[in-house]
């Protein structure tokens, strides 16, 4: 029998216990032996809970119990979770986690520690919730040179943008409604400012390159500036707006990683990913394009991914599963040198000035709108684009990169 401990009895933690219990037969069969949740660590008591007798408050009980070989860290944060994870790995206990913040910040160090102690640090649930993407990158696509990864990695922002696109609503009103329904956090900053997607693309980029991509160095822009007016143009052009997290392996060995809203064709596979769904679009040099789609959050989808890691650990007791993510930092390309096409919505009274600035390029008007028009620029370096926007001042109403 393999004894398991769960750190944190919140949404994901209770989901982990539920998945192991509900799918007991399948889980045990696929593990090759019986799995048992021996402890659940939490600060609170859970009177009346079916697993009440397993709740404990002292981590030492877990770390000092030689029977425990697998720990699910679903507490979140980079403080206590980091200390507990390190302590567990140093004792040769495998750790499975959904904690993207911790994986993004200390992934290579924890993987090294796991290797030194013949155990595993697995994190399938840290990106894309229930979508299998870490394992495909580690196992299935190992014959590929991955050229790029582009993801819709945040369900909250995808829900908001989908609503804005379908209902013509403003960002603020959709966010408020999403908060009332419990789809968005009361403090939505990590989601709407792109930080959550940034940590996830940092993890994927690190697996793509085998080097460490530091999330704090990734250019990150959220969706708070996207307006209902932008969606009027996007819809009229057969396009949509998505928060994309992108990473590209450049020929010079650098990595171009960023998180920002992009205008893309509604027919693009990522353009069809709506509501809270996530997707990861991977381009390999042999396979070409492939896409992984599903629920990027939620109790049972996320717990299912954590338990898949528990099963992998049970199958590999005493052995470390290979994962290429070195501590050496990848060199990130300078965002200012990147050339992008832009959608620019501008004041019609400054049309001549705007057209002169961007040169001959595609323009668009929407019937019934008299005050603005749009330009779809040719590729232009970001630093040059910023200068042009500065020179045009208030004539530029909004701008969004094109995918």
Q: Binding to ligand HSE by residue 162, rule CB under 6 A?
A: no
Indicate the residue among 190 and 237 with the shorter CB distance to ligand HSE: 190
Q: Give the binding range for ligand HSE (CB under 6 A) out of 19-27, 150-158, 229-237, 381-389.
A: 150-158
Q: Give the binding range for ligand HSE (CB under 6 A) out of 20-28, 153-161, 171-179, 317-325.
A: 153-161
**Which residues touch 350 (CB under 8 Å, ≥6 apart)?**
392, 395
CB-neighbour burial class of residue 112 (10 A; exposed 0-12, middle 13-18, buried 19+)? middle
**Which residues touch 17 (CB under 8 Å, ≥6 apart)?**
6, 9, 37, 40, 51
DSSP three-state, residue 257:
strand
Q: Which residues in the 248-307 window bind ligand HSE by CB under 6 A?
A: 296-297
Among all chains, which residue has been given the structure tokens 């994309």? 244
Indicate the residue among 187 and 371 with the shorter CB distance to ligand HSE: 187
Would you say 323 and 111 are in contact if contact means Cβ atoms under 8 Å apart?
A: yes
Binding ligand HSE (rule: CB under 6 A), the pick from 28, 156, 248, 340 is 156
Annotated active-site residue 200? The verdict is yes
Binding ligand HSE (rule: CB under 6 A), the pick from 196, 229, 230, 312 is 196
* Beta-strand runs (E) in 9-126: 35-41, 55-56, 68-73, 94-97, 121-122
- Catalytic residue selected from 105, 163, 200, 239: 200
CA distance 117 to 94: 9
Indicate the residue among 241 and 397 with the shorter CB distance to ligand HSE: 241
- Nearest approach, Cβ of 159 to ligand HSE (angstroms)? 8
Sign of CA pseudo-dihedral 115, 16, 28, 2: positive
Q: Give the binding range for ligand HSE (CB under 6 A) out of 148-156, 202-210, 353-361, 370-378.
A: 148-156
- Nearest approach, Cβ of 307 to ligand HSE (angstroms)? 17
Q: Using CB under 6 A, list all residues that contact ligand HSE.
A: 129, 154-156, 191, 196, 296-297
């Amino acid at each position: 029998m393999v004894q398991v401990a769960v750190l944190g009895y919140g949404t994901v933690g209770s989901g982990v216990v539920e998945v192991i219990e509900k799918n007991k037969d399948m889980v045990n069969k696929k593990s090759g032996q019986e799995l048992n949740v021996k402890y659940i660590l939490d600060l609170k008591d859970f009177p009346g809970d079916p697993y009440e007798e397993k709740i404990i408050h002292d981590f030492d009980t877990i770390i000092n119990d030689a029977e425990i070989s697998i720990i699910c860290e679903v507490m979140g944060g980079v403080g206590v979770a980091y200390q507990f994870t390190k302590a567990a790995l140093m004792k040769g206990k495998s750790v499975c986690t959904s904690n993207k913040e911790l994986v993004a910040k200390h992934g290579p160090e924890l993987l090294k520690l796991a290797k030194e102690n013949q155990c595993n640090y697995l994190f399938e649930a840290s990106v894309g919730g229930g979508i299998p993407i870490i394992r495909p990158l580690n196992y299935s696509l190992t014959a590929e040179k991955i050229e790029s990864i582009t993801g819709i990695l945040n369900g909250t922002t995808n829900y908001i943008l989908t609503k804005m696109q379908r209902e013509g609503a403003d960002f603020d009103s959709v966010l408020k409604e999403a908060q009332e329904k419990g789809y968005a956090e009361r403090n939505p900053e990590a989601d709407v400012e792109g930080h959550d997607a940034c940590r996830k693309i940092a993890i994927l980029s690190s697996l793509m390159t085998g080097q460490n991509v530091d999330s704090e160095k990734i250019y990150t822009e959220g969706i708070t500036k996207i307006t209902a007016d932008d969606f009027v143009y996007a819809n009229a052009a057969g396009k949509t707006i998505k928060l994309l997290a992108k990473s590209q392996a450049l020929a010079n060995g650098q990595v171009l990683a960023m998180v920002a809203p992009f205008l893309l064709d509604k027919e693009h596979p990522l353009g069809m990913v709506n509501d809270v769904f996530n997707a990861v679009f991977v381009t390999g040099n042999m396979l070409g394009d492939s896409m992984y789609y599903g629920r990027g959050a939620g109790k049972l989808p996320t717990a299912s991914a954590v338990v898949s890691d528990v099963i992998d650990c049970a199958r590999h007791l005493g052995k470390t599963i290979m994962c290429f993510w070195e501590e050496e930092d990848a060199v990130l390309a300078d965002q200012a040198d990147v050339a992008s096409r832009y959608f620019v919505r501008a004041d019609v009274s400054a049309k001549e000035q705007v057209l002169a600035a961007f040169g001959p390029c595609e323009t668009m008007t929407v019937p019934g709108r008299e005050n603005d028009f749009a330009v779809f620029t040719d590729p232009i370096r970001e630093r040059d684009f910023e200068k042009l926007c500065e020179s045009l001042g208030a004539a530029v109403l909004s701008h969004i990169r094109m995918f």
